Structure 1
Amino acid sequence: MLIFPVHNHVNRVCSTWGREHFKTFDGYVYQFPGLCEYNLVSECHSPYQAFSVHLKREMIDGNPTISYVKVTANELSFQLSRSSVTANDGTNVTLPYHYGGVKVEKSQVYTKLESKLGFTVMWNDEDAVMVEIDNDFANRTCGLCGDFSGSPLNEFIENGVPIEFGNKQRVQLSNDECEDPSEEEEELVKPVNVTEPCKKFQSDCEDLFRTDSWSPCTKLLDPAVFIQACTQDKCSCSNSSDDFCVCSTLSEYSRQCSHAGGEPPNWRSSQFCDKKCPYNMEFKESGSPCMDTCTHQETSSMCEEHRIDGCFCPPGKVFDDISMTGCIFKSECQCKRDKIYNSGETYKQGLEICKCNEGKWSCENLLTSAQCSVEEGSHVTTFDGKSYTFHGDCSYTLVNVGSSKAFRIIAQLEPCTHLQYDICLKTLKFLLNNDRNNVSIKQLLFVLKDQLITHLLTDSSMISQILVFNADGTVEQNMQPVTLPYQSGESKNRKLNATL
């Protein structure tokens, strides 16, 4: 099992979540309440824009929720919405989707778009979007995610306060009646200096983050700005007990902890910020995004992606992607070919038989060897083991095989020259392809794709031509018989064995 090191790459992640919160690549957290379409991040300072990510929020039940995310990668464009994903011409695409270096897939929690250009977009279909980019884009981005320069305040030194900065990122659309937030609202969304009416909520948020269970995260990632965001959320909500007012920022801190290389605790419960999963899956704050399934049982052990929150199978189980019954033990996994087979059932096609064993096929070839022999010129044993005596004086077909591997073996039998009442095998003839080609044993072996071994043992005075066919396909002519089995002095040991 391969174990890949966990790297702290939180500085390559920009995110937005909850009630208008944004974290830039450089780590600055601010609030921007705009409900128009805005440039979240795009490549700037280049004659050709390689990619862009836009988003738009709308108010649902009094809470700002992302309605769609638009992504471009070179000549490709996609619009992600809660119900579908559309491509360039507006047609729906079937997920998972792979084309032009872009992969779009959907899990129980996230819609994920990954581009070989060096960026990944993840949306939880609700309030949170994350964009992760390669270090190659340092100092080359613009948008609500900032310039990726390493200096948290660069954007706001040049562009003013957050609302002024955010309004500059608006995407101008035709027939767009959306209005930018007023800069007078700035005092209501300050992340650092919590307004007086909101201070009563700060201690509640402190208690949520400053617990021992969160210590694997707080050692890596200062929760101060997230505590402030939590305070702002609770202050802005008409019902401060509403899960959305608390859970969105806790969820984001949990995600950021995973990006920082930490392992967040399973802090949710059935009474607090609960998450429901389909089938019999369980929600975890930190798990491998590469799911083990019946058809790919070792995926997670080879996964190089960072851990994320989501729906996962309990330990010891894999997801049934054959019959889609949920999480099951490997021993219950089925296999699929022309139909679905249970573990232990077999599938046969031609000369191959396969057995389903815990989701994996184990196959073997049914081709076995059988032997036909001609002894003393008249004693014949068939491939099926039946023996009989035949006194012939002509050419006879020993083997005749049809179909694409057609060939015939013809033996010439006649009375022996010096033994009047005995029958001798005089010659053998191999014919391939409906008797049109008289071929050598090497060619015959090639066509059969198996080993044909013929031993001819006789006395040179009793046969007009001595042929010894070796296992490697060579033919030796007019030689004394030295092929095994052979015993000196037994002049009547005249035997032909054909093994197929």
Structure 2
Amino acid sequence: MTDFGLRVTYDLVYHVTVTVPGNYNGRTCGLCGNFNDDKADEFQLLDGNLTKDFQTFGAAWKVPVPGAVCEDGCSGDQCPKCDDSKKAAIEEKCAVITNPKGPFAACHDVIDPASYFRDCVYDVCMAKNDQSIMCNSIAAYMLDCHDFGAKIENWRSASFCPFTCSASSHYETCLLPCTSPCPGLVETLTCTTTCVEGCACDKGYYYNGTGCVPSDQCGCYYNCQTYKVGESIITDDCHRIHTCQASGVVLSKNMTCDPNESCLVKNGCQEIIQSGNFSQISDWFRVVVKLETCTPGVNTIMAVYVFLNEVMITVNNKHDVWTQKVMAEKGYSRDSTSAWVWPPKGPMQNRGYSKAADLASLYTEGPLVK
């Protein structure tokens, strides 16, 4: 959705919707029509004339794209034809769209199903009776009916276009996208008011962004991240701690480090760890390397963090250099950037290695030798 109210949705198969605010009434043109509440002049060409030919209308609004070839399609006898011996069986299945007593009957007076039926038969025939093409064709009519508020009955079954839902959920023909979300999730989503078919969470379960879970497994959503109930996140150089509560609300408090603690980045988050005993040393250092193991057995360096007394230097995998949250001047080569932080100029002490799932941190600390 744009800042001026344009919303585009696509189901990745057949169905595209374009929605604009009411103040665009009479101010649009193109494949979606002119939005002037007159259904008789939708197929308007660039010169203002009307056409009844779909091919001419579509070709008129093509936009040239460098490196792309967009053809106008076929017409008349040039189009491939469906084998009559196969057509009858396909028509019988696609007829669920036009059946006057079928699940789509309530939509027939709103949207004429004839063109959807023809498209279904032709597409399935050209796809050599591919059942997924048939199901997608029927679903396209259902989506348009939903847009106009028509109530569609359940047309799927275990043997006809089955719809599989994950654990703790069930299929519904008309479902609002933001039904039963986990607390806090709705603030991170943009929800539409038009229903779509899909899987709804069973009673007592809530949608957490990937599936349906009990309420105590919902967690919290903070800065585009998901956190478990009871999990804490430390930010602002370890001056703030944010804790996920069972209600889905993140409770934020001020905090400070004890004299024997240090604030560093570990596993991508700031964390407090016990410092080594450097009370008799005026200068010390700590190097933390953030590793990511996307491929088993292969560690990739994502960032290097260097702590020098009150100063922290960060070099990321794009070779950007940050000092105390302020980006330093760019222009370093790969070698010169690495030279900032490695190898350290002091004897390495207290080597440690910790690994969690697919992320690890390697750190070393000791007195700084000048």
Structure possessing the higher radius of gyration over alpha carbons: 1
**Larger relative contact order (C-alpha < 8 A, sep ≥ 6)?**
1
TM-score, normalised to structure 2, is 0.49
TM-score, with length taken from structure 1 = 0.38
